[in-house]
Amino acid sequence: MSPEANALSSAAATRASRVRDVVAGLSIAGLLLPEAVAYSRIAALPPQAGIIGLFAGLLAYGLLGRSRFAIVSPTSSSAAVLAAATAALAPGNAALRADLAAGLTLIAGAMFVVAGIARLGHVTDFIAKPVLRGFTFGLALVIAQKQLADIVGVHPSHADLPQALVDLAAAAPSWNLAGLALGAGSFALLMAARRLPWLPGGLLVIGGGILAARHYDLAAHGVALVGPIDLRFAQPTVSALSEAEWLRLGELGAALVMILYSESYGSIRGFALKHGDPVTANRDLAALGAANLVSALFRGTPVGAGYSGTSANEAAGAASRLAGLAAAAVLALLVGALLPSIAFTPVPVLAAIVVHAVGAALDPKGLRRYFEWRRDRLVAASAVLAVLTLGVLDGLLVAIALSLIMMLRRLSQSEVAELGRLGDGHDFLNMRVHPEARPVPGLLILRPEEPLFFANAERIFATLSERIRAEGSGTGAVIVSLEETFDLDGSTLEVLQSFVEQTTRAGRVLVLARLKHPVHLLLDQVFPSAAPDRIFLGLSVDDAVQAAQARLAARKPSAGAATDGPVAAGSAAVGP
Select from 411, 402, 475, 446 the least CA-distant residue to 541: 446
- Local confidence band at 462 (pLDDT 50, 70, 90 cut-offs): very high
| Helix runs in 153-223, H state only | 161-170, 177-193, 201-216
pLDDT of residue 258: 83
Cα dihedral sign, 108-114-118-119: positive
Question: Nearest 5 degrees, angle CA 272-CA 276-CA 280?
Answer: 50
Q: Is 392 in contact with 223 (CB distance < 8 Å)?
A: no
pLDDT of residue 262: 81
pLDDT of residue 123: 66
Strand, helix or coil for residue 535: strand
Select from 262, 256, 252 the least CA-distant residue to 361: 262
Q: Tally Cβ neighbours within 10 Å of residue 440.
A: 17
pLDDT tens digit sequence for 132-175:
788 888 888 888 898 999 999 988 887 778 888 898 999 999 99
- CA 294 – CA 289 distance, rounded (Å): 9
Lowest-confidence region among 122-126, 549-553, 561-565: 561-565
More confident residue, 351 or 563: 351
Cα dihedral sign, 385-389-392-397: negative
Query: Amino acid identity of 186?
Result: S
pLDDT tens digit sequence for 205-254:
888 888 888 888 888 888 988 888 888 766 888 988 999 999 999 988 98
Q: Tally Cβ neighbours within 10 Å of residue 365.
A: 8
Q: Is the pLDDT of residue 560 over 50?
A: no
Mean pLDDT (the chain, rounded): 84
pLDDT of residue 55: 95
Q: Is 297 in contact with 123 (CB distance < 8 Å)?
A: no
Q: Is the pLDDT of residue 568 over 50?
A: no
pLDDT tens digit sequence for 481-491:
999 999 998 98
Q: What is the mean pLDDT of residues 44-57?
A: 93
pLDDT of residue 2: 59
Q: What domains are defined for the chain?
A: 21-139+235-345+361-409 (no CATH), 416-558 (3.30.750.24)
414 burial (CB, 10 Å; 0-12 / 13-18 / 19+) is middle
pLDDT tens digit sequence for 368-391:
888 877 778 888 888 888 888 888
More confident residue, 424 or 302: 302
Select from 319, 287, 280 the least CA-distant residue to 304: 287
Select from 407, 397, 406, 402 the least CA-distant residue to 139: 397
* Strand pairing class (509-513; 534-536): parallel
Q: Is the pLDDT of residue 575 over 60?
A: no
- CA 200 – CA 279 distance, rounded (Å): 30
Q: Is 72 in contact with 220 (CB distance < 8 Å)?
A: no
What residues contact residue 251 under an 8 Å CB cut-off, 6+ apart? Answer: none
- R_g (Cα) of the chain, nearest Å: 31
Q: Is the pLDDT of residue 27 over 80?
A: no
pLDDT tens digit sequence for 447-457:
999 888 888 88
Select from 548, 558, 574 the least CA-distant residue to 566: 548
The per-residue DSSP string of 322-345 comes to HHHHHHHHHHHHHHHHHHHHHTT-
According to DSSP, residue 514 is labeled S
3-state percent helix, strand, coil for the chain, nearest multiple of 5:
65, 5, 30
* Strand pairing class (443-448; 304-305): unpaired
Strand, helix or coil for residue 447: strand
Q: Is the pLDDT of residue 513 over 90?
A: yes
Q: Is 66 in contact with 308 (CB distance < 8 Å)?
A: no
Q: What is the mean pLDDT of residues 538-542?
A: 91
According to DSSP, residue 391 is labeled -
pLDDT of residue 422: 92
* Strand pairing class (428-430; 416-421): antiparallel
- CA 267 – CA 282 distance, rounded (Å): 15
As a whole number of angstroms, the longest Cα–Cα distance in the chain is: 107
Q: What is the mean pLDDT of residues 19-43?
A: 84
The per-residue DSSP string of 279-327 comes to --HHHHHHHHHHHHHHHHHTT----EE-HHHHHHHHHTT--STHHHHHH
* Strand pairing class (477-481; 72-73): unpaired
pLDDT tens digit sequence for 387-427:
888 887 788 778 778 877 877 777 666 789 999 999 888 99
For residue 467, the number of C-alpha atoms closer than 13 Å in the C-beta half-sphere is: 23
For residue 359, the number of C-alpha atoms closer than 13 Å in the C-beta half-sphere is: 12
Q: What is the mean pLDDT of residues 268-286?
A: 85
